[in-house]
Amino acid sequence: AQTVTQSQPEMSVQEAETVTLSCTYDTSESDYYLFWYKQPPSRQMILVIRQEAYKQQNATENRFSVNFQKAAKSFSLKISDSQLGDAAMYFCAYRTGTSGSRLTFGEGTQLTVNP
Amino acid sequence: GAVVSQHPSWVICKSGTSVKIECRSLDFQATTMFWYRQFPKQSLMLMATSNEGSKATYEQGVEKDKFLINHASLTLSTLTVTSAHPEDSSFYICSARAQTGYGYTFGSGTRLTVV
Protein backbone atom coordinates (compact mmCIF):
# COMPACT_ATOMS: atom_id res chain seq x y z
CA ALA A 1 0.00 0.00 0.00
CA GLN A 2 1.12 3.51 -0.71
CA THR A 3 1.98 5.74 2.21
CA VAL A 4 2.73 9.45 2.44
CA THR A 5 4.74 10.89 5.31
CA GLN A 6 5.10 14.49 6.37
CA SER A 7 7.61 14.64 9.18
CA GLN A 8 7.02 18.27 10.14
CA PRO A 9 3.76 18.73 12.07
CA GLU A 10 4.42 22.47 12.35
CA MET A 11 6.58 24.99 10.56
CA SER A 12 6.91 28.74 10.80
CA VAL A 13 8.39 31.34 8.50
CA GLN A 14 8.85 35.08 8.50
CA GLU A 15 6.88 37.03 5.97
CA ALA A 16 8.85 37.42 2.69
CA GLU A 17 11.16 34.54 3.60
CA THR A 18 11.35 31.08 2.05
CA VAL A 19 10.20 27.85 3.65
CA THR A 20 10.39 24.23 2.56
CA LEU A 21 7.90 21.58 3.59
CA SER A 22 8.99 17.96 3.42
CA CYS A 23 7.14 14.93 2.10
CA THR A 24 8.22 11.38 1.43
CA TYR A 25 6.18 8.58 -0.03
CA ASP A 26 6.40 4.89 -0.53
CA THR A 27 5.16 3.12 -3.63
CA SER A 28 6.04 0.31 -5.98
CA GLU A 29 4.22 1.97 -8.86
CA SER A 30 6.04 3.65 -11.71
CA ASP A 31 3.11 5.75 -12.89
CA TYR A 32 1.75 8.14 -10.29
CA TYR A 33 1.01 11.74 -9.45
CA LEU A 34 1.94 13.86 -6.47
CA PHE A 35 0.12 16.89 -5.13
CA TRP A 36 0.36 19.58 -2.52
CA TYR A 37 -2.91 20.87 -1.14
CA LYS A 38 -3.47 23.85 1.10
CA GLN A 39 -6.23 23.94 3.70
CA PRO A 40 -6.69 27.42 5.21
CA PRO A 41 -8.86 28.07 8.27
CA SER A 42 -11.93 27.97 6.02
CA ARG A 43 -11.04 24.29 5.53
CA GLN A 44 -11.55 24.47 1.77
CA MET A 45 -9.00 22.23 0.10
CA ILE A 46 -7.02 24.15 -2.49
CA LEU A 47 -4.64 22.57 -5.00
CA VAL A 48 -1.25 24.24 -4.79
CA ILE A 49 0.82 22.25 -7.23
CA ARG A 50 0.89 18.93 -9.06
CA GLN A 51 3.74 16.74 -10.33
CA GLU A 52 3.56 13.86 -12.74
CA ALA A 53 6.08 11.15 -11.89
CA TYR A 54 7.13 10.71 -15.50
CA LYS A 55 8.22 14.33 -15.73
CA GLN A 56 11.77 15.03 -14.64
CA GLN A 57 11.26 18.76 -14.51
CA ASN A 58 10.09 20.09 -11.18
CA ALA A 59 6.69 21.75 -11.24
CA THR A 60 6.44 25.46 -10.51
CA GLU A 61 3.43 27.67 -9.85
CA ASN A 62 4.39 31.27 -9.19
CA ARG A 63 5.92 31.35 -5.67
CA PHE A 64 5.44 27.62 -5.18
CA SER A 65 7.85 25.03 -6.49
CA VAL A 66 8.66 21.43 -5.74
CA ASN A 67 11.81 19.40 -5.47
CA PHE A 68 10.85 16.00 -6.84
CA GLN A 69 13.42 13.31 -6.18
CA LYS A 70 11.94 10.17 -7.67
CA ALA A 71 14.67 7.76 -6.63
CA ALA A 72 14.54 9.04 -3.07
CA LYS A 73 10.73 9.17 -3.14
CA SER A 74 10.81 12.71 -1.89
CA PHE A 75 8.52 15.58 -2.87
CA SER A 76 9.17 18.81 -0.98
CA LEU A 77 7.34 22.09 -1.42
CA LYS A 78 9.17 25.40 -1.44
CA ILE A 79 7.26 28.58 -0.79
CA SER A 80 9.15 31.71 -1.75
CA ASP A 81 8.39 35.24 -0.58
CA SER A 82 5.97 33.90 2.02
CA GLN A 83 2.81 35.88 2.54
CA LEU A 84 0.42 36.01 5.47
CA GLY A 85 -2.19 34.33 3.29
CA ASP A 86 0.04 31.29 2.95
CA ALA A 87 -0.68 30.36 6.55
CA ALA A 88 -2.56 27.08 6.40
CA MET A 89 -2.34 23.34 6.81
CA TYR A 90 -0.48 21.81 3.88
CA PHE A 91 -1.07 18.25 2.79
CA CYS A 92 1.08 16.18 0.49
CA ALA A 93 -0.91 13.64 -1.51
CA TYR A 94 -0.29 10.74 -3.86
CA ARG A 95 -2.35 8.88 -6.39
CA THR A 96 -1.55 6.09 -8.81
CA GLY A 97 -1.81 6.51 -12.54
CA THR A 98 -5.00 4.46 -12.63
CA SER A 99 -7.99 6.53 -13.66
CA GLY A 100 -10.38 7.22 -10.80
CA SER A 101 -7.91 6.24 -8.14
CA ARG A 102 -7.99 7.72 -4.68
CA LEU A 103 -5.73 10.29 -3.13
CA THR A 104 -3.58 9.22 -0.22
CA PHE A 105 -2.79 12.12 2.10
CA GLY A 106 0.06 12.76 4.46
CA GLU A 107 -0.51 13.88 8.02
CA GLY A 108 -0.19 17.54 7.18
CA THR A 109 2.11 20.41 8.14
CA GLN A 110 0.68 23.47 9.86
CA LEU A 111 2.45 26.53 8.45
CA THR A 112 2.50 29.78 10.40
CA VAL A 113 3.63 32.97 8.72
CA ASN A 114 4.94 35.61 11.09
CA PRO A 115 4.65 39.29 10.15
CA GLY B 1 -12.99 25.97 -13.16
CA ALA B 2 -14.67 22.90 -11.75
CA VAL B 3 -16.88 23.54 -8.73
CA VAL B 4 -18.43 21.19 -6.21
CA SER B 5 -21.17 22.64 -4.04
CA GLN B 6 -21.49 20.96 -0.65
CA HIS B 7 -24.44 21.56 1.67
CA PRO B 8 -25.06 22.17 4.42
CA SER B 9 -21.86 23.87 5.54
CA TRP B 10 -22.72 23.13 9.13
CA VAL B 11 -25.44 21.23 10.89
CA ILE B 12 -26.39 20.46 14.46
CA CYS B 13 -28.60 17.48 15.09
CA LYS B 14 -29.89 15.52 18.02
CA SER B 15 -28.50 12.14 18.87
CA GLY B 16 -30.44 9.38 17.13
CA THR B 17 -31.52 11.43 14.14
CA SER B 18 -30.21 11.22 10.57
CA VAL B 19 -28.42 13.90 8.61
CA LYS B 20 -27.96 14.13 4.85
CA ILE B 21 -25.04 15.92 3.23
CA GLU B 22 -25.17 16.76 -0.47
CA CYS B 23 -22.40 17.35 -2.97
CA ARG B 24 -23.23 18.65 -6.42
CA SER B 25 -20.80 19.08 -9.27
CA LEU B 26 -21.92 22.28 -10.94
CA ASP B 27 -20.07 22.31 -14.22
CA PHE B 28 -18.77 18.81 -14.84
CA GLN B 29 -19.83 15.22 -14.54
CA ALA B 30 -18.50 13.59 -11.42
CA THR B 31 -18.01 9.95 -12.30
CA THR B 32 -16.28 9.28 -8.99
CA MET B 33 -16.99 10.81 -5.61
CA PHE B 34 -14.82 10.43 -2.54
CA TRP B 35 -16.10 11.07 0.96
CA TYR B 36 -13.68 12.04 3.71
CA ARG B 37 -13.87 12.64 7.40
CA GLN B 38 -11.49 15.01 9.14
CA PHE B 39 -10.93 15.57 12.85
CA PRO B 40 -9.37 18.84 14.08
CA LYS B 41 -5.73 19.24 13.12
CA GLN B 42 -5.68 15.85 11.46
CA SER B 43 -5.51 14.61 7.91
CA LEU B 44 -8.39 13.61 5.68
CA MET B 45 -9.51 10.05 6.23
CA LEU B 46 -11.17 8.40 3.26
CA MET B 47 -14.50 6.87 4.21
CA ALA B 48 -15.77 5.61 0.89
CA THR B 49 -15.53 5.87 -2.86
CA SER B 50 -18.56 5.87 -5.09
CA ASN B 51 -18.93 5.64 -8.82
CA GLU B 52 -22.07 6.89 -10.50
CA GLY B 53 -24.71 4.22 -10.60
CA SER B 54 -22.76 1.75 -8.47
CA LYS B 55 -22.66 0.85 -4.82
CA ALA B 56 -20.07 2.67 -2.79
CA THR B 57 -16.87 0.99 -1.71
CA TYR B 58 -16.23 1.58 1.98
CA GLU B 59 -12.87 1.71 3.68
CA GLN B 60 -12.10 -0.78 6.39
CA GLY B 61 -13.69 0.17 9.68
CA VAL B 62 -16.36 2.42 8.16
CA GLU B 63 -19.89 1.20 8.85
CA LYS B 64 -21.73 1.14 5.55
CA ASP B 65 -25.11 0.91 7.28
CA LYS B 66 -24.36 4.02 9.26
CA PHE B 67 -22.88 6.11 6.51
CA LEU B 68 -25.14 5.69 3.50
CA ILE B 69 -23.78 6.97 0.23
CA ASN B 70 -25.84 7.51 -2.88
CA HIS B 71 -24.39 8.51 -6.23
CA ALA B 72 -27.36 8.08 -8.50
CA SER B 73 -26.43 10.81 -10.96
CA LEU B 74 -23.30 12.27 -12.44
CA THR B 75 -23.87 15.57 -10.66
CA LEU B 76 -25.11 14.56 -7.22
CA SER B 77 -23.81 12.41 -4.42
CA THR B 78 -25.17 12.26 -0.89
CA LEU B 79 -23.86 11.02 2.44
CA THR B 80 -26.45 10.21 5.07
CA VAL B 81 -25.31 9.74 8.63
CA THR B 82 -27.97 7.52 10.17
CA SER B 83 -28.78 7.41 13.87
CA ALA B 84 -26.09 9.96 14.55
CA HIS B 85 -24.24 9.94 17.85
CA PRO B 86 -21.89 12.49 19.41
CA GLU B 87 -18.86 10.50 18.23
CA ASP B 88 -20.00 11.11 14.64
CA SER B 89 -19.37 14.82 15.15
CA SER B 90 -16.69 15.72 12.65
CA PHE B 91 -15.91 17.60 9.45
CA TYR B 92 -17.03 15.78 6.31
CA ILE B 93 -15.62 16.63 2.88
CA CYS B 94 -16.50 15.34 -0.56
CA SER B 95 -14.18 15.28 -3.55
CA ALA B 96 -15.25 14.68 -7.12
CA ARG B 97 -13.40 13.43 -10.17
CA ALA B 98 -14.47 13.55 -13.77
CA GLN B 99 -13.87 10.63 -16.09
CA THR B 100 -11.10 12.45 -17.89
CA GLY B 101 -8.25 14.42 -16.45
CA TYR B 102 -6.58 13.93 -13.11
CA GLY B 103 -8.07 16.76 -11.11
CA TYR B 104 -9.94 16.42 -7.86
CA THR B 105 -12.47 19.07 -6.91
CA PHE B 106 -13.31 19.37 -3.25
CA GLY B 107 -16.49 20.56 -1.64
CA SER B 108 -16.25 23.19 1.07
CA GLY B 109 -17.03 20.66 3.79
CA THR B 110 -19.76 20.12 6.35
CA ARG B 111 -19.25 20.51 10.06
CA LEU B 112 -21.54 18.06 11.83
CA THR B 113 -22.24 18.41 15.53
CA VAL B 114 -24.37 15.79 17.22
CA VAL B 115 -25.80 16.80 20.59
Range scoring the smallest mean pLDDT among A65-74, A89-98, B86-95: A89-98
CA A30 vs. chain centroid, Å, equals 19
Distance of alpha carbon A15 from alpha carbon A71, whole angstroms: 33
Chain A partners within 8 Å of B41 (Cβ): 89, 108, 110
CA atoms within 13 A on the CB side of A25: 31
Q: What is the pLDDT of residue A103?
A: 93
A3 touches A101 (CB < 8 A) = no
Contact A45 B95 (CB under 8 A): yes
Chain A partners within 8 Å of B29 (Cβ): none
CA atoms within 13 A on the CB side of A115: 2
User: How sure is the predictor about A107, in pLDDT bands with cuts at 50, 70 and 90?
Assistant: very high
**Ranges of H-type helices in B11-114:** none
Q: What is the pLDDT of residue B54?
A: 84
Q: Residue A113 pLDDT > 90, yes or no?
A: yes
Q: Comparing A99 with B23, which gets the higher pLDDT?
A: B23
Q: Which of B44, B109, B48 is nearest to A93 (CA)?
A: B44
Distance of alpha carbon B39 from alpha carbon B21, whole angstroms: 17
Chain A partners within 8 Å of B38 (Cβ): 43
Contact A44 B108 (CB under 8 A): yes
A109 touches A7 (CB < 8 A) = no
Q: Which of A37, A3, A6 is nearest to A22 (CA)?
A: A6
What would the pLDDT profile of B42-98 be if each residue is shown by its tens digit?
Answer: 999 999 999 888 889 999 999 999 999 999 888 999 999 999 999 999 999 999 988
Q: What number is the average pLDDT over the span A84-112?
A: 92
